[in-house]
Amino acid sequence: MDITLLRTFSTTRRIKTGAWSRLQPVFLNGVSPCMDACPASIDVPKLFHLFLEGREREAALLLLKYNPFPSITGRVCPHPCQDSCNRGEMDGAVEIRAIERVLGDIILEEKIFPPKGAFQGPSVAVVGSGPAGLSAAWYLSMGGMDVTVFERERAPGGVLSWGIPAFRLDREIVTENLRRLEEIGVEIVTDYTISPEDLSELHCRYQGVLIATGLGRSRTLHVRGVEHAWQGLNLLKGYHLEGTLPPGERAVVIGGGNVAVDVARVLVHEGRKTTLVCVEPRDEMPAIPQEIQEAQEEGIDLLDSYGLEEVVVRDGMVAGVRIGRVCIVGEEDRMKQVAFVDNVRDEVPCDLVVLAVGQEPEEGWEEGDATFVAGDLLMGPGTVAGAIASGRDVALKLVATLQGRSFEGVRATLWERDHYEVITFQDLNPSYFVPLPPGEVKDRAGAMREAERCFSCGYCNACGNCWIFCPDVAIIMESAPQLDPDHCKGCGICATECPRGVIYMREKGC
């Protein structure tokens, strides 16, 4: 070693400059905007850190703590995480969903399962096998419960099997995930209807019951001729489970949500000329923006800010729809209330009308001591990721209840953060990040390259910058940085140079 450097170092170590300081740094991991926005609260920076370190199995197990079906959300989630990603302020959000898809597929291919808890719990019934029910079944089984899922259709999976079109979600991926549930011991009974009246009988056989039946009934509009319209949910179910579609070459779909867009896309894929009519302006439609864009690219005509006045029927057959321009004047019971802006009405000729204007529960379920409700039934219509998260949270609560423990919620239990402030772009030191636009993520290598673009906002990934820059050698770098208070003179260089907003200068003793 250079003798001058050695002398400087030994002098620095001998003089305890720590006694001079008023301030000292504290290392606090905060919350990245992506994990804050994710409906499943996935700890994205920690996940990417493990993945980039080559600790792929640990990354996979971390992901499964939050979401048992990343190969599904990695395909269909509208990725609000990316909309909030700090990297968006620089050169484009990190392609989080695509990385999640790659990791999800690795989990399937390599059959990665977390170890099951030693607890051998009682029997639990889950009613409904959509994303919330299946997620609940996974976490209940992981918690040691003996789980039976009841599904009234002859195929399990709920909207994953009959709602989301196969061009958005490959059915083989759904089947693989169902297989994984069977592998961990979950029994799925199909063609079996359970109603609220059956609850007491169910409680005789099971110590816990979790209801995740979703929103299975389509709402309707009170306009003339509406009895001649098809319901969007029934159309999707018939198409995906029976391979049938209603007749009609020119279709009008009424609605602006995901079901409406999925119906319209199914129809256009089947060669029907399709128009989508919705009361919202395009940029306020509740459907996933990317799906709306793809629908338009596929040739669907969109008439936004239009309301339905009448389904025109001639000689007992649908002949068209009468529509007019509307504005939204309010919302009642999750239904938009609209008013026509003038007396002008247009007739759009068609021979098939499909309504997809919202869903509601088919039956009223009540929570009780050992009866829990989850998914859309609890929260209203949402995303697959939101339903998975709800199923998980309610299942973890039920496991805790059956084990006689309290459950603080997933964020408090799983996030392992020192504080809950969301780290903004302004909290980071962007001079350490080289501009690099998002790349294509098709495989492991692409996922790695893209994960490297992550700033790791608010999460210390042990980059060592603070250790390198500290002029007083007051930071000790092991698996994470630690302060040597005897030598820190409180200059704050480490806090300035931390790229991720992890270091805060605080008054000593505070």
By CB under 6 A, tell whether 47 contacts ligand SF4: no
Tell me the per-residue interface mask from 356 to 385 with ligand SF4, x by CB under 6 A, - otherwise: -----------------------------x
Q: What is the H or E stretch that residue 336 is in?
A: strand 335-340
Q: How far is the CB of 406 from ligand SF4 (least distance, A)?
A: 26
If 0-12 CB within 10 Å is exposed, 13-18 middle and 19+ buried, where does residue 445 land?
exposed
Measuring CA to CA, which residue among 389, 486, 510 is closest to residue 39?
389
By CB under 6 A, tell whether 96 contacts ligand SF4: yes
By CB under 6 A, tell whether 438 contacts ligand SF4: no
Question: 505: which strand partners?
Answer: 25
- Read off φ and ψ for residue 394, nearest 5 degrees: -70, -35
Q: Among residues 340 and 469, whose Cβ is nearest to ligand SF4?
A: 469
Q: Which stretch binds ligand SF4 (CB under 6 A): 29-37, 110-118, 257-265, 295-303?
A: 29-37
Q: What residue type is assigned to position 398 of the chain?
A: L
Q: Which residues contact 326 (CB under 8 A, 6 or more apart)?
A: 279, 305, 306, 307, 338, 339, 340, 341
Question: 353: which strand partners?
Answer: 252
Q: Among residues 276 and 388, whose Cβ is nearest to ligand SF4?
A: 388
Measuring CA to CA, which residue among 405, 408, 380 is closest to residue 393?
408
By CB under 6 A, tell whether 46 contacts ligand SF4: no
Query: Which one of residues 21, 24, 27, 218 is an interface residue with ligand SF4 (CB under 6 A)?
Result: 27
* Cβ–Cβ under 8 Å, residues 41 and 414: yes
Q: Among residues 267 and 457, whose Cβ is nearest to ligand SF4?
A: 457
By CB under 6 A, tell whether 441 contacts ligand SF4: no
* Cβ–Cβ under 8 Å, residues 184 and 138: yes
Residues 448-507 touching ligand SF4, rule: CB under 6 A, are: 454-457, 460-466, 481, 498, 500, 502-503
Sign of CA dihedral 292, 295, 297, 301: negative
Give the number of residues in contact with ligand SF4, rule: CB under 6 A. 39
Measuring CA to CA, which residue among 29, 37, 30 is closest to residue 84?
37
The distance from CA 138 to its chain's CA centroid, rounded to whole angstroms, is 17
Q: How far is the CB of 314 from ligand SF4 (least distance, A)?
A: 46
Provide the 8-state DSSP code for 280: S
Q: Which stretch binds ligand SF4 (CB under 6 A): 37-45, 49-57, 204-212, 226-234?
A: 37-45
Q: How far is the CB of 306 from ligand SF4 (least distance, A)?
A: 31
Residues 52-91 touching ligand SF4, rule: CB under 6 A, are: 73, 77, 79-81, 85-87
Sign of CA dihedral 456, 459, 465, 471: positive
Query: Which one of residues 34, 102, 159, 354 is an interface residue with ligand SF4 (CB under 6 A)?
Result: 34
Q: How far is the CB of 347 from ligand SF4 (least distance, A)?
A: 41
Q: How far is the CB of 85 from ligand SF4 (least distance, A)?
A: 3
- Read off φ and ψ for residue 324, nearest 5 degrees: -145, 165
Which residues of this protein are in contact with ligand SF4, per CB under 6 A?
27, 32-34, 38-40, 42, 44-45, 73, 77, 79-81, 85-87, 94, 96-97, 100, 385, 454-457, 460-466, 481, 498, 500, 502-503
